[in-house]
Structure 1
Amino acid sequence: MGKQFSEILPEHEAFIKKQHLFFVGSAPSDDLGHVNLSPKGYDTLRILSSTEVAYLDLTGSGNETSAHLAENGRITIMFVAFEGPPMILRLYGRGQVVLPDTPEWNQLAPHFELLPGARQIIVVNVQSVKTSCGFSIPYYSYEGERDTLQKWAVAKGEDGLTEYHREKNTTSMDGRVTPLGERLRDTTGSTT
């Protein structure tokens, strides 16, 4: 049933590209912090090579993954077949946060449609790919993307998003500083 691979194979890539939703898991280094699991929509994930993926991370009410990656780099991305043959595919690896206005951002950004509210790109060096049956996953039909987040980001505007990032995205729920928080601290001397 379950199989493990050292890289993303062509059949894995084909499966990933069909998915409309993926989940990102991360955790702090100690056992006192919270494990985070975030769903991601829109067409935001790119396969850069058989061992590297990246996704455009949009503004949200928290920034847990970013804080965890800054602390220990561990990340898992999971895809689930809600349509067609059953399958669960997980990418295990080490991630890093790439912020706008950096050389790395300038290299990666052309791979994406930069949606309103884009705050960072998460790059993952894939160390292991695991597939499993997904026999118990129910069928769900894709009806389309919600436009709520993009409308919200456009209405906020650049200054409003910066203030929102300052208020909601500079630390994790456990108080760990995110790379975005470090940047805002460096430019203003404070994250609050």
Structure 2
Amino acid sequence: MAMGKKLNRTFRRFIEAQPLFFVATADRDGRVNVSPKGMDTLRIKGDHRIHWLNLSGSGNETAAHVRATGRMTLMFCAFEGNPLILRVYGQARVHHPRDADWDALITDFPKLGGSRQVFDLTIDLVQTSCGSGVPIMEFKTSRGEVELEPYYDELGPDGVKDYWERKNVETIDGKPTGIFEDP
């Protein structure tokens, strides 16, 4: 297992080649959340920094957990080629569309319906493990581009906000996500 504090060129290339990654967060109490993420939603901003665009979904655990503790782990694993698991640990900040810095942050990403938050992760540890237990699987297509994103695009901004009010204000543990609160 290799450990370091930054993303070297090899790690960057590995991350950029993955169509899928996982984000894990936890509050001080309550449930741990692990979510799969994909599409064109991740940007490496330097040796110690990653931004990723979070699209709308049926929950909003990550935002509440980051709001409470700031802790976040991203995991990337090779489903093709040489086995490898890469975990990136750090402290994150959540940025909402209402925040002053949103317009600057969102320019790094394609326009996607349901864009909900940009997370800014400052890396304090990078860890690898062998990945030999991860199955070899073939990537066919992104469901997000044919199902998720068009759904929110068709809802439009008002429909997305209504969806957030119904589904994204609290976590499954009843914690506030901050989606509509002033910065």
When normalised by structure 2's length, the TM-score is: 0.95
1:50: how far off? 0.6
Cα distance in 2 between the residues matched to 1:101 and 1:166? 15
**What is the percentage of aligned positions where both structures have the same residue?**
40
- Deviations 1:129-185 (Å, cap 9, x if unpaired)? 0011001111010111111011211221111110000111111111111120424xx
RMSD, matched Cα: 1.2
Question: 1:112 maps to which residue?
Answer: 109
Q: Tell me, which stretches of 5 or more residues in structure 1 are unaligned?
A: 187-192
SS in 1 for 2:74: strand
Question: 1:189 maps to which residue?
Answer: none
- Deviations 1:9-40 (Å, cap 9, x if unpaired)? 1100000000000000001112xx01000000
Cα distance in 1 between the residues matched to 2:103 and 2:160? 20
Cα distance in 1 between the residues matched to 2:39 and 2:99? 24
Question: 1:128 maps to which residue?
Answer: 125
Question: 2:26 maps to which residue?
Answer: 27
* Letter aligned with residue 20 of structure 1: P
Kept in 2, the 8 Å contact 1:97–1:179? The answer is no
1:57-136 to structure 2, matched below 5 A, reads 57-136=54-133
Question: 2:49 maps to which residue?
Answer: 52
Question: 1:149 maps to which residue?
Answer: 148
- Deviations 1:45-91 (Å, cap 9, x if unpaired)? 00011101010000000000000000000100000000110000000
SS in 2 for 1:167: helix
SS in 2 for 1:182: coil
Cα distance in 1 between the residues matched to 2:117 and 2:133? 34
Kept in 1, the 8 Å contact 2:112–2:153? The answer is no
Which stretch of structure 1 is more off in the superposition, 113-122 or 66-75? 113-122
Kept in 2, the 8 Å contact 1:170–1:180? The answer is yes
Kept in 2, the 8 Å contact 1:36–1:64? The answer is yes
Q: Which 4+ stretches in 1 moved above 3 angstroms?
A: none
Question: 1:173 maps to which residue?
Answer: 172
SS in 1 for 2:39: coil
**1:36 aligns to 2:38 (yes or no):** no
* Letter aligned with residue 60 of structure 1: G
User: Which is richer in helix?
Assistant: 1
When normalised by structure 1's length, the TM-score is: 0.91
Q: Tell me, which stretches of 5 or more residues in structure 2 are unaligned?
A: none
Cα distance in 1 between the residues matched to 2:44 and 2:141? 22
